[in-house]
Amino acid sequence: MTEREETLELLVDAARRFARDVLVPAEAEVEASGEIPARVVQGLRDLGLFGMTIPEEYGGLGLSVYEEVRVVQEICYAQPAFRSYFGTTNGVGTLGILNFGTEEQKRRYLPQLATGEMLASFALTEPDSGSDAASLVTRAVRDGDHWVINGAKRFITNAIHAGVFTVFARTGSKDSGASGISAFLVDRGTPGLTVARPYAKMGFAGSHESDVTFDDVRVPASAMLGPEGTGFKNAMKSLDHARLHMAAVAVGLARRLLDEGTKYAVERRQFGQPIGKFQLVQGMLADSQAEYLAAKALVEQSSRDRDAGRKTTLEAACSKYFATEAAGRIADRMLQIHGGNGYIKEYAIERLYRDVRLLRIYEGTSQILQVITAREMLREAGL
C-alpha cells in the first residue's frame, strides 16, 4: 500500500467514526431544530471536508474523485443533510472555479472555501428552467466594465449561508441556446442580491434551500467565470462530477438503511421467532444487499475511470441513476420490514425514508439521466 493509499484509509476511517459517533446521534436534534449544531460544523471543518476537492496549494485536501467517493460514502451513513452543508462547496459550487477560474479568482475564493470559512452556492435552476438548463432566462447585460444581472433562481442549496454564488445567466441572444449562457461569481452582499427564507420541505431537515433573486446586480467584468458563452459547458462539466458524488451519497445512505432493517429483523419477534427467520423478509434483505453492492461497485469504478482521464458522462449518469433508484427501493423494503413501527418517528427509518426521496430528483432527475445515458450510447453507436 502506498503512502497516499494509507492516508486515504486513515481519512475514510476517521469519516466512518465521525459519522457513527457524532452525526448519527445528532440526527434527532437536527430534525427538531432544522439546524446543524455548531459543534458538528466544526467537526466537519476539522476533518477537512469543506476542502476535499480543492487542491492542496489552495488549502484543501486535493482528493481524487475516487477518494472523494470513498469519504462521502462514510459520511452519508448519517442523514444526508450533514453532507449538504459542505457538499455544494466541494462540488458544483467550487468545481467551476477550479475548471474555468482565473488564478486571481482561485486565490480569492478557494482558500476560504477549503476551510469552511466561506460556503459556495450553485445558482443554475430557475422557476421555469430545471432539467432544461439551457432554457434559463436570467440575463446579464454588459455595461462598460460591469455586467448587470437580472432574474431569479430556485432551489439553491446553502443560499442563506453562501459567501459566493456561481450564477448562470444569458449573455447571448434569446435564441442563442446553450452557447449564449455565461457564468459569474457574485459575492454575498452585492446590492440587488436577495435570498428568500428557506423552503419547508418533506425531508432533509438541516439542509437549507432558497430562492435567490437578482435585481440590477452589478458585478465587474472580472467576475465572469471563464470566457463568455462557456457557462453551460461549465455547468455540465461540474454536474458530471457532482453526479458521481451524489451516487456516493446514495450508496452511503443505502448502507445505513440496510443496517437499520437488518437490526430490526433480528430484534423484532413474531410467531415466537425473529422476523429475520422468515424467508420473505430474507428476500427483501438479500435483494437490497445485492443492489447496494452493485451501486457501490458502479460508482467506485466510474470514479476511477474519471480519475484516469476518461470521458464519464454516461458512467456518471448511470451511477447516479442506478444508485439513487436502488436506495429508494432499499428504503421502501427496510420500512416494510419495520411494519407499523417504520411509519412512526420513534424509528430512524421514517426520517431516512423521507430523506432518500430527494436523491432521485436533484443533480439530474432519474428520467433526465436515462435520456443522457441513451444519448451517449446512441452517439457511440454512430447515431
Summarize pLDDT for 329-347 with one digit per residue, the tens. 999 999 999 999 999 999 9
Between CA 381 and CA 342 the distance in angstroms is 46
Domains of the chain, each with CATH number or no CATH: 3-115 (1.10.540.10), 120-228 (2.40.110.10), 233-380 (1.20.140.10)
Residue 90: its pLDDT value, please? 81
Provide mean pLDDT across the span 32-45: 96
- The arithmetic mean of pLDDT across residues 26-33, rounded, is 96
343 three-class SS? helix
For 259, the 3-state DSSP assignment is helix
pLDDT average, residue stretch 60-67 = 96
Range in 89-103, 284-298, 336-350 with the lowest mean pLDDT: 89-103
The percentage of the chain sitting over the pLDDT mark of 70, rounded to a whole number, equals 100
Considering 74, 126, 291, 363, which one is annotated as catalytic? Answer: 363
Q: What is the per-residue pLDDT for 133?
A: 67
- pLDDT mean across residues, the chain: 95
CA torsion angle for 221, 227, 233, 238 (degrees, to 10)? -60
Cell matching residue 43: 467537526
- Nearest Cα to 161, choosing from 238, 239, 88, 78? 88
Instruction: Note the pLDDT tens digit of each residue in 207-257.
Output: 999 999 999 999 999 999 999 999 988 888 888 899 999 999 999 999 999
Is the dihedral angle over the CA atoms 119, 123, 125, 126 positive or is it negative? positive
Assess whether 363 carries a catalytic annotation.
Answer: yes
Q: How many residues make up the chain in this entry?
A: 383
| The pairing of beta strand 146-157 with beta strand 162-170 | unpaired
3-class secondary structure per residue, 308-324: CCCCCHHHHHHHHHHHH
pLDDT at 166: 95
